[in-house]
Amino acid sequence: MLKVYDIVVSNEMYREPVLMVWFVGCKIKCEGCFNKHLWDVNAPVGTWYKPIDLADKLLRICEDKDIGYVMFSGGEPFDQNLKDLWSLVKSLPSL
């Protein structure tokens, strides 16, 4: 399972729209982090997804909004279950 805080379309940082996936959970805890509320995977924020369900949701959003890029952020994406994160990545075709 993967815990996601939010999924947003960003048109501000890049030349083309990017679908941003904000994960919950971070063991790194960088000084100056602006997402400290996403550090604790047990915090009462976010939604748990099976990798295939999250992939389906992301693909629907990309198709509906003509988005060709997905970016993972957080928290720390690599603090998720790595098997599930890899399953998600493999489920996303080259957009």
Model pLDDT for residues 21-80, shown as the tens digit of each residue: 999 999 999 999 999 999 999 999 999 999 999 999 999 999 999 998 999 998 899 999
pTM: 0.89
Pairing of strands 70-74, 18-23: parallel
Q: Tell me the CA distances in angstroms from 25 to 50, 74, 76, one per residue in order.
A: 16, 7, 6
pLDDT higher for 95 or 60?
A: 60
- Compute the Cα dihedral for 83, 53, 88, 31 and give only its sign: negative
Model pLDDT for residues 76-94, shown as the tens digit of each residue: 999 999 999 999 999 988 7
Report how far residue 2's alpha carbon sits from residue 21's, in angstroms, rounded to the nearest whole number.
11
User: What pLDDT does residue 13 have?
Assistant: 67
User: What pLDDT does residue 15 have?
Assistant: 79
